[in-house]
Amino acid sequence: MAGPALPLPVVRWCVNAATTAQRRRHDSATRVPWQRKRERGRERERERERERERERERERERERERESERERERGRERERERERERERENERERDREREREREREREREREREREREEECAAEAWEEGPAG
C-alpha cells in the first residue's frame, strides 16, 4: 500500500483545485473574459452603426419621397396654371367674338338706317315735283 489514505473531502478539494487551474490555463491560452467583453462591446457598436446606417437610408428614402411629392405638386400647379391660361384665352376669344358680333350688329343697323334714308329721299323725291 502507498501510505495512509487521504480523507474524501481533501481528495475532492484537490481534484476541484486541479480542474479549476486547468480551466484557467485553458481560458488564458485561448480567450480571457475581458477579451470576450471587449468583443461583445465591439459587436454592439457595429450593430448600432448598422442601425444608424439603416436609419440614414430610411431618412434619405423619405427625403426622396418628399422631393418627388413636391415635384408632382409643382407639375399639378403648372397644369392648373396652363388650364387658367387656356380659360383666360377662351374668355378673350369670346370677348373678341362678342365685339365682332356687336360690330356686325352696328353695321346692319347703319345699313338699315341708310336704307330708310334712301326710302325717305325717294319718297320725298316722288312727292317733291308733284307737290
Least confident of 36-45, 56-65, 96-105: 36-45
Distance of CA 105 to the CA centre of its chain: 56
For range 21-30, the mean pLDDT: 74
pLDDT at 31 over 70: no
Domain ranges of the chain: 33-122
Higher model confidence: residue 31 or residue 9?
A: 9
Predicted confidence band of residue 78 (pLDDT cuts 50, 70, 90): very high
32: left (phi over 0), alpha (psi -120 to 50) or beta: beta
CB-facing half-sphere around the CA of 18: CA atoms within 13 A: 6
For range 55-73, the mean pLDDT: 97
Instruction: State the chain's mean pLDDT as an integer.
Output: 89
In angstroms, the CA 72 to CA 82 distance is 15
pTM: 0.42
Predicted confidence band of residue 5 (pLDDT cuts 50, 70, 90): confident
Looking up cell 485553458, which residue turns up?
26
Which pLDDT value is given to residue 17?
87
For range 2-28, the mean pLDDT: 82
Which pLDDT value is given to residue 129?
61
Q: What is the DSSP string of 62-110?
A: HHHHHHHHHHHHHHHHHHHHHHHHHHHHHHHHHHHHHHHHHHHHHHHHH
For range 44-62, the mean pLDDT: 97
Which pLDDT value is given to residue 124?
79
